Chain A
Amino acid sequence: MAVRKFKIFRFNPENDSKPSYKTYEVECLPGWTILDALNEIKWFQDGTLTYRRSCRHGICGSCAMQVNGLNGLACELQLAPYKKDPIVVDPLPGFEVHKDLVVNMEPFYEALKRVKPWLINEDAPPQRERYQSPEEFLELDNSIACILCAACTSSCPSFWADSNYLGPAALLKAFRYEFDSRDKGFEERREVLDNKHGLWRCHKIINCFHACPKGLNPTGAISKLQQKVVTEKW
């Protein structure tokens, strides 16, 4: 048992005129994650603390937040590597705060919808499934593993500057379909990709790559999409 200090972003728009930080002391067990500590606070110290969480094993993407300035999943971030107290917990930057660590994710989903994240193929469906070879599947380069937690988009300075920017998550999703051998939706997605709020807003800051809790590479995906758009055009 070790007592750790957590400095947590608090904001309740109904009562507070501006956000503040509140520090909590928590007795933590070895092997605990940030989420365990947040649960301990909410369940036994201060029930008003608000955050999203669901599966607690890194696949639902609900508990993305900023810990000591870096985005990640609270349920995946072990306490041990954080040597210094207090550990500072903030909501995802770049989004409007609803309450405490809960942000408005609507702009994130809206951007996702704009890239039409589904298989577009008007050909007559074959007798059985649309076949894809293992090599063609490898082209997608794990991009299918995105859990839509928004850690990447929220870490992107281009997104902070331009709320209409698609952001790394939506562009990674676009990559996932554009480089799918079965997809033929390039013409439908072209306008939203080849756009100042689309591909060309990315300045290769690579925060998204560092933020992704699944180890995906949205920056690399954006580069490949940029190449594709340019090659198709000229």
Chain B
Amino acid sequence: MKRKQYGIGSGGAFAWYFQRITGLILIITLLLHYLYLHFLNGGNVTFQEVTQRLSTPLWKTIDLVFLVSVVYHAMQGILMVVNDYVHRPAVRSTLVATVWVLGMVLTITGVVTIVTFTAA
């Protein structure tokens, strides 16, 4: 009765738990992002203001947390859909691998951009 399903992995407690945690972080960081950019900042979204903000360590930290949370949360969501609806093992493994690679690429480019950013 128990068929092996390739590309689905085992366990899953960490993925489930961390998706909940990142969900909570997203509520905070998204609200913060939205409130700051549209209200607290007085709608002053200019190149100069943005570059200056992205140069401060505090905003770098917030954006790093934001980035990791968004990518992980979204990735888990897509993986969940893939695991639920893609039944052909080869297709599923390929999609799961693609999602992971895409997640890594997005995280790395994002981290590099945020960490190395300095106001010109």
On A, residues with C-beta under 8 Å from B are 106-107, 110, 157-158, 161-164, 194-201, 203, 226, 229-230, 233-234
Contact = CB atoms under 8 A, between A and B. Distances in A.
Q: Which 10 A-B pairs have the closest CB atoms?
A: A200-B12, A161-B84, A196-B12, A200-B16, A110-B1, A230-B17, A194-B13, A196-B8, A233-B13, A229-B13
B10 A195 contact: yes
Nearest to A113: B1
Contacts of A229: 13
Chain B CB within 10 A, most for which of A161, A196, A201, A233: A196
A195 B84 contact: no
Given A164-B5, A196-B10, A196-B11, A203 B80 contact: yes
B10 A200 contact: no
Interface string B4-24: 010011111101110000000
Q: How large is the interface on B (under 10, 10 to 19, 20 to 34, 35 or more residues)?
A: 10 to 19
Contacts of B15: 200
Contacts, number: 47
Contacts of A234: 17
Tell me the dominant secondary structure on chain A's binding face. helix
Contacts of A161: 84-85
A196 B9 contact: yes
A111 to B, nearest CB: 9
A162 B1 contact: no
A106 B5 CA distance: 19
B88 interface: no
Interface string B78-112: 00100111000000000000000000000000000
B2 A164 contact: yes
Contacts of A162: 5, 83-84
A201 B81 CA distance: 11
Contacts of A164: 1-3, 5
B25 to A, nearest CB: 17
A203 B76 CA distance: 12
A195 B83 CA distance: 13
B11 A195 contact: yes
Given A158-B84, A226-B16, A230-B17, A194 B5 contact: no
Contacts of B11: 194-196
A200 B84 contact: no
B35 to A, nearest CB: 29
Nearest to A106: B1
Contact of A196 (B17, B83, B85): B83
Contacts of A226: 16
Given A157-B84, A161-B85, A200-B12, 13 more contacts: A162-B5, A162-B83, A162-B84, A163-B3, A194-B13, A196-B9, A196-B83, A199-B16, A200-B15, A201-B83, A203-B84, A226-B16, A230-B16
A87 B3 CA distance: 37
A197 to B, nearest CB: 8
